[in-house]
């Protein structure tokens, strides 16, 4: 896939490139026919301290057994890729991506898990049972090995205010005075520290340049990290959202259901998110259904509804596998720029630690900074970004990039280069198999990344 670095003036945004399906097929066939590089993979569990608590963090490192096979980017540094999963997953959710990137390109890849998401009680890391138990209790995070959140620490509630998008939603609301509430409040800065330590440890500054990719919910979290580690050189943003405050504006522009391919444009001004810091969203088969429906609509049009029983059978079959991953979520504060709840989380954490008024203000400012780019004379600028969206994306459309996302990146000081590739196939989980594409659009996506890294896009 030929790569040409785009040019942007002060008044014109160089926005789009299209990759047609025949090009995607060609890229897939070429990558899968390429010889494999011998690699090794290793799980690493380490403990961090954040907000006065210990957190056990899990990552997997994938790398060539022969270190000389790791490629050099246009900046003369070894290529390292740091992956974060989406809102439902853990590092196992990104294993197919990591294996392809390491075995076909030779990159050193680190796939990380958000604090609390890894099932530390079993070496398989597969979560047992379902997310909602027969007795009404729910699945909860394991932030520290041996520490479990018990049903007496929360109450379960059901919400129907966003049924158009999610169906009925289930939440675990942490009770006052519980360790669950303390953990939820501190989780945003624990995630930041976990990512920082993983990158500093696995990608030495001066030897590696780091390229960040976070799928879906992982996107705003990777943008959060993009200025916080000195050798981060770029963001590889296929099917992921931007900084939380940009995501908030995208949501307002798109309307409550979002503007996606195959849907008419809804009125602007979507619902403002107000999720409290002390709630855990517990996912169910409904979260699989909301993607399957939109993706079928994009591929087949309204006739997809005529086979609704078939679609639901696929949804429930998929859930049997999906429920092995964590399937709970508490990152909305950062990903949707819910500043009131971020402030509440900071104040709760500061009170628990007994901080002074000055230190409390500093902690609140820290929490607030997680949703937007850092600014100031001594701050590294936001690195260049290569966005990508799939042909049947539920959550992303070319129009919202043109109208909202790319202009907001262009308004940054200094502005990074931010462009979009629209792949004319694929779905939100872009590595999912589809006819003639055993790895979805991922091979074409990765070819564009490799061209950009070696061709100078991120310089």
Name the residue ranges covered by the structural domains of the chain: 16-455
pLDDT mean across residues, the chain: 92
Coil, helix or strand at residue 228: coil
What does CATH list as the number for 16-455?
A: 3.40.50.1820
Alpha carbon distance 59, 70 (integer Å): 20
Per-residue pLDDT, averaged over 248-269, amounts to 53
pLDDT, mean of residues 191-202: 98
273: nearest Cα among 336, 345, 339: 336
12 — pLDDT class (breaks 50, 70, 90)? very low
pTM: 0.91
Q: Which residues touch 315 (CB under 8 Å, ≥6 apart)?
A: 285, 288, 289, 292
For residues 395 and 249, give the distance between their C-alpha atoms in angstroms, rounded to a whole number: 14
* Lowest model confidence (mean pLDDT) among 27-41, 305-319, 330-344: 305-319
Residue 424's closest CA among 21, 26, 27, 22? 21
- Which pLDDT score, from 0 to 100, does residue 7 have? 38
User: In percent, how much of the chain has pLDDT > 70?
Assistant: 93
272 — pLDDT class (breaks 50, 70, 90):
confident
Q: How far is CA 455 from the centre of its chain?
A: 25
Sign for the CA dihedral angle at 393, 389, 372, 181 comes to positive
Query: 231: which 2 tokens?
Result: 């050798």
| Mean local confidence (pLDDT), 261-266 | 34
């Amino acid at each position: 896939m030929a790569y040409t670095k785009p040019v942007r003036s002060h008044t014109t945004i160089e926005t789009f490139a299209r990759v047609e399906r025949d090009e995607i097929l060609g890229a897939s066939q070429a990558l899968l026919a390429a010889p494999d590089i011998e690699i090794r993979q290793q799980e690493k569990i380490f403990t961090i301290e954040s907000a006065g608590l210990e957190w056990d963090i899990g990552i997997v490192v994938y790398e060539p057994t022969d270190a000389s096979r790791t490629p050099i980017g246009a900046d003369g540094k070894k290529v390292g890729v740091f992956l974060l999963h989406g809102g439902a997953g853990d590092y196992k959710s990104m294993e197919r991506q990591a294996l392809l990137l390491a075995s076909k390109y030779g990159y050193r890849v680190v796939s990380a898990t958000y604090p609390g998401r890894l099932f530390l009680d079993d070496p398989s890391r597969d979560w047992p049972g379902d997310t909602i138990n027969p007795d009404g209790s729910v699945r909860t995070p394991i932030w520290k090995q041996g520490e479990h959140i018990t049903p007496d620490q929360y109450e379960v509630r059901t919400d129907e205010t966003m049924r158009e998008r999610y169906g009925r939603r289930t939440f675990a609301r942490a009770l006052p005075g519980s360790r669950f509430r303390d953990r939820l409040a501190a989780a945003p800065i624990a995630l930041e520290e976990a990512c920082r330590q993983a990158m500093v440890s696995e990608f030495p500054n001066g030897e590696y340049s780091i390229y960040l990719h976070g799928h879906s919910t992982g996107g705003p979290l990777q943008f959060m990290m993009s200025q916080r580690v000195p050798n981060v050189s770029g963001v590889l943003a296929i099917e992921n959202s931007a900084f939380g405050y940009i995501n908030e504006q995208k949501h307002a522009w798109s309307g409550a259901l979002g503007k996606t391919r195959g849907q008419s444009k809804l009125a602007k001004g979507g619902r403002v998110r107000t999720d409290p810091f002390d709630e855990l969203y517990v996912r169910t088969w409904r979260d699989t259904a909301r993607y399957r429906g939109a993706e079928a609509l994009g591929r087949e049009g309204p006739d997809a509804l005529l086979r609704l029983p078939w679609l639901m059978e696929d949804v429930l079959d998929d859930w049997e596998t999906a429920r092995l991953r964590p399937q709970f979520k508490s990152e909305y504060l950062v990903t949707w720029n819910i500043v009131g709840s971020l402030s509440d989380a900071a104040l709760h954490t500061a009170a628990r630690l007994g901080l002074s008024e000055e230190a409390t203000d500093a902690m609140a400012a820290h929490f607030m900074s997680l949703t937007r780019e850092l600014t100031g004379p001594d701050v590294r600028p936001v690195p260049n970004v290569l966005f990508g969206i799939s042909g049947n994306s539920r959550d992303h459309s070319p129009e919202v990039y043109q109208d909202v996302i790319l202009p907001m990146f262009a308004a940054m000081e200094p502005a990074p280069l931010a462009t979009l590739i629209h792949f004319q196939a694929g779905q939100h989980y872009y590595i999912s198999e589809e006819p003639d594409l055993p790895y979805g659009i991922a091979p074409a996506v990765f070819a564009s990344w490799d061209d950009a890294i070696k061709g100078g896009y991120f310089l």
